[in-house]
Chain A
Amino acid sequence: MNKKTSRALVSVLIVGGTLTVLLARSVREDSQFYKHVDEVMNAPDAWYGKKLQLHGFVVDKSISWVPEKLDYRFTVKNGDQTVSASYTGIVPDGFKDGAEVVLTGKLTPAGFVVAPGGVSAKCPSKYEEQKRAGR
């Protein structure tokens, strides 16, 4: 191996290594668990305080809200388990009774606290570009 190749190899290794380490760290920091309601609520204790994306369906007629403050309380269900959720902010157009939603936030003993902009509604029909509540 001549000098040039070895030099190139070393720099590639250093840059690549640094990037990999950084990537691994930020993935650990920023990743969230993606779970269905029943997966979490079968053993809720294990999930308190963890960053979660919770997938489920809004229970019919469970949405109550204070319009002035945009405070929402509703129940999400999947399988035979339910969890109550609270959220403040703007909900996407698709958020309604029976909607399939993905909530980003944390589970507390009092229920699921949705992070700002953490409500995403999935559209039931195909190829429907669905809006997001936040980024």
Chain B
Amino acid sequence: MANLGTFLILAAFVTASGAFAACLAGARLRRNSLVQGGIGLFHVITALLLVASSVIVHAFVIGDYRIKYVQHYSNDQQPLFYKLASYWGGLDGSLLFWATLLAVFGSVAVHINRDRYRTLVPYVAATIAVVQMFFLFLLALHRNPFETFLTTAPTAGEGLNPLLQNFYMAIHPPLLYLGFVGMTIPFAFGIAALATGQLDDAWLKAVRRWTMTAWLFLTVGLALGGLWAYEELGWGGYWGWDPVENAGLLPWFTGTAFLHSVMVQERRGMLKIWNVSLVITTFFLTIFGTFMTRSGVVQSMHAFGEDRELAMMFTAFMVMLLVVSFGLVIYRLPLLRSRNELDSIASREAAFLANNWILLFSAFLILFATMFPTLSEAVTGERLTVATPFFNKWMTPIGLALLFLTGVGPLLAWRKSSVENLRTQFLWPVLAALVFAGGTWALGVPLWGSAICFGLCAMVTTTIAQEFIRGASVRQRTTGTDLFTALVGLFARSRRRYAGYIVHLGIVLIFFGFAGNGLERDEQIGMVPGQQLSLPPYTVKFKALTVTRDARKQMITAELDVLKDGKLLTSMYPARWYFDGRENEPTTEVALRRGFSGDLYLVLAAFDVEKQMATIEARINPLINWIWFGVGIMVIGTGIALLPERALSFAAARVPENAVTTTLMLLLIVSIGSARLRAQHIVTPESSIIGAPRSDLEREIHKEIICMCGTCGRKLVGECTCATAAAMRNEIAALTANGKTRAEIIDYFVKKYGSQEVLGAPIDKGFNRLAWLFPYAVGAAGMILAAAMAFRWSRRRDEDRAEAGAEGGVEGGPTPAAKDLEARLDDELRDLD
């Protein structure tokens, strides 16, 4: 199998060079058959790499330890999920994964655009093929994941690092890769546009959606990385400005800049050179980030280790990339001349420009600081580093300035804002900012950083609310529907603009969470059972230190009671886990109590089992969950922006009045139904860890009975981490301790919950299944119903329009005044679309 894998990589390399040559030659000679052949080869690369990927996944699943890579990152004990995640757990595999993703993305992009952008597509395919060749070259010559042991192969694997055996960690790298790889597509279109000289707005239209998708993946990937660090590493923060983290942030900044400046080009025909350069820079930074973290150029806690040869190859590729791309830009400068000039500083273009400069500056500042040790060593021979304080010092004002522009930008008109215009637009936002900044400052929040941040958050929120209210009320007046319908109608009319506001709202929430950063408190103390630690408003009482084990690890757990105002709030269990075979690499298991106002974060920092002594670090992280919440809002906003054109057209329908309100109500009921279930899970402390069963009987029952909290998706009681499961396990322990038999215990639970639902495998299987399915079925049916109605309404609107057209376009409804208003609204709504 390993040989097959190696062969596939080589074959893919050859195919990629064939695709490149055929596409380029075909496009230049205008020979369509050649281009078609090249594109065919381009799809063959995808097929080959998908097979190569399945070969390595197969090797992981069956545990083929003759392959070095598999041996190093997997073992038999690992759950299937982490066996699969091991694919991208190391350098070689992650490169193959990268190449595969790129091939898939490339094929999709080329396929979708094959007719619409007929002239661009061959160049797009050729560009992607070149990038592909680079990665395949690395894989074939230097970093072959299919390398086998030459002599006797070990029979067991070393296993994935325990720290990486975490849900977030398993899905965070693929998301980041999706973001990185996705940025290749806009780059390829940019190069194609430069090569063909078709530098009008067509290529921008083709890449807008791709950039947004890649940006979305990047955003979520970064957030998950932060969440992982926060929950798994136990140092209480989520971002440490490590080179690896920064590598993901750099293209995010330039990508964000591009998403904004695109609008200026679409609307005003300005910034053409800028846009094409941003696309190139973003792609370059994804490659540079990979180079930085994988070649050992920069010292990092989680770099892949030093690899001079890889560094050389990357350097050569990057130099070529820069020379060719910017060479093309310079060659095409005459075609990139701006159609307009900046009219005024108080215009939306100017705000976008400022936002772009700041974003670009942040990217290069972070790049500079990350590379600083290497640069200083090269220049002075002295290795100097800058650390977190440097980043925080610089990024705080930069972040606040960006937040400020988020609030200001939408308030300014294109071209030039009049004084009158400025006054009406800015009155409420500025007022809100002053009130909130002043108010929080008066309450003792430090002004710099936190209070200003709160003020700006208030300002941006007011801006967004004002935009929605004004837009919706104008729409309500002209279309005569209710407020909800008008609101959704706004999205239908100008999806990108209002979806953008939702993304901005997410940003505001994230900053709100950042502001809590300055208000955190922590306390650490060594305790014996009975002693307590005080961190107002909480008191943490140390009860016991227990040693338990399960099939894969030994667990040292501190049992703590958390009291608030003298009343017991909950019990929390921070722990350290020692995985078998990796005893000297314990993992810290943080105990977390989440809340809107902040988290209580407990870490077992050190312990002594014999003395029953534990050192606990307790920490309050205010507002931190708003960050994750904000990212969620950003995802929703981006999702709306990515919806196909017609998706919201039903809201623009006029026929069934208040239709949208009904639809929304329906959706709301459905979603609240499930949200209530979810919410329960959030309230229960996720911290309780699973105590190992003390007898075989207990272990057996843990596998037969399921958790009854109703939110865990019917997990086995022995696997679930929620509080209900913990209580049930205690019950089981008590029953076995009383000498009850298996049948008696099961009987007890069936009686207690009144049905066999509590059993993992119920006796009357079919019917019970159906009963559990019921709520889900109702939810799904509601969704389908809503979608079907929406679809019908939107169809009817089309028919109406056709009828209206047949009658000569006479509409009875709107008065001339309303028409005038609507024309104005339309004009305003077209702003960004």
Contacts and interface: CB of A to CB of B under 8 A. Distances in A.
B529 interface: no
A94 to B, nearest CB: 7
A94 B89 contact: no
A65 B608 CA distance: 12
A32 B376 CA distance: 11
Contacts, number: 125
Contacts of B368: 23
A27 B605 contact: no
Interface in A69-99: 69-70, 89-90, 92-94, 96
B635 interface: no
Given A68-B613, A94-B585, A128 B302 contact: yes
B385 interface: yes
A54 B524 CA distance: 26
Contacts of A92: 233, 235
B91 A90 contact: no
Question: Interface residue tally of chain A, by bracket?
Answer: 35 or more
Contact of A122 (B234, B301, B584): B301
A37 B372 CA distance: 21
Contacts of B237: 135
Given A67-B607, A123-B302, A130-B301, A30 B386 contact: yes
A127 B587 contact: no
Interface in A102-129: 102, 104, 117, 120-123, 125-129
B66 to A, nearest CB: 20
B384 A68 contact: no
B478 interface: no
B47 to A, nearest CB: 28
Interface in B591-630: 603, 605-608, 613, 615, 617
Contacts of A89: 524
Interface string B722-742: 000000000000000000000
B163 A32 contact: no
Contact of A131 (B163, B299, B384, B608): B163
A125 B385 contact: no
Nearest to A122: B301
Given A122-B301, A131-B588, A70 B383 contact: no
Most buried by B among A104, A125, A127, A134: A127
B548 interface: no
Interface string B567-587: 000000000000000001111
A117 B235 contact: yes
Contact of B613 (A19, A67, A94, A132): A67
A34 interface: yes
Nearest to B614: A67
A90 B524 CA distance: 9
Contacts of A135: 235, 237, 240, 388
Interface stretch (B52-60, B111-119, B389-397, B690-698): B389-397
A80 B252 CA distance: 44
A70 B526 contact: yes
A135 B394 CA distance: 15
B296 to A, nearest CB: 10
Contacts of B299: 34, 102
Contacts of B361: 19
Given A34-B384, A93-B585, A126-B90, A27 B390 contact: yes
A4 B344 CA distance: 12
Contact of A93 (B383, B393, B394, B588): B588
Contacts of B745: none
A70 B390 contact: no
A133 B235 contact: yes
Interface string A1-34: 0001000000000000001000100110011111
A32 B394 CA distance: 17
B304 A126 contact: yes
Contacts of A68: 526, 613, 615
Nearest to B606: A67
B760 interface: no
Given A31-B372, A33-B383, A67-B526, A130 B606 contact: no
B330 interface: no
Contacts of A133: 235
Nearest to B299: A34
Nearest to B377: A34
Contacts of B376: 31
5 contacts: A53-B385, A67-B607, A70-B615, A120-B301, A130-B163
Given A126-B90, A127-B90, 17 more contacts: A4-B341, A23-B365, A27-B372, A27-B390, A30-B386, A30-B390, A31-B385, A32-B387, A33-B383, A67-B613, A89-B524, A90-B234, A94-B585, A126-B304, A127-B304, A128-B163, A132-B240
Interface of A: 4, 19, 23, 26-27, 30-35, 53, 65, 67-70, 89-90, 92-94, 96, 102, 104, 117, 120-123, 125-135
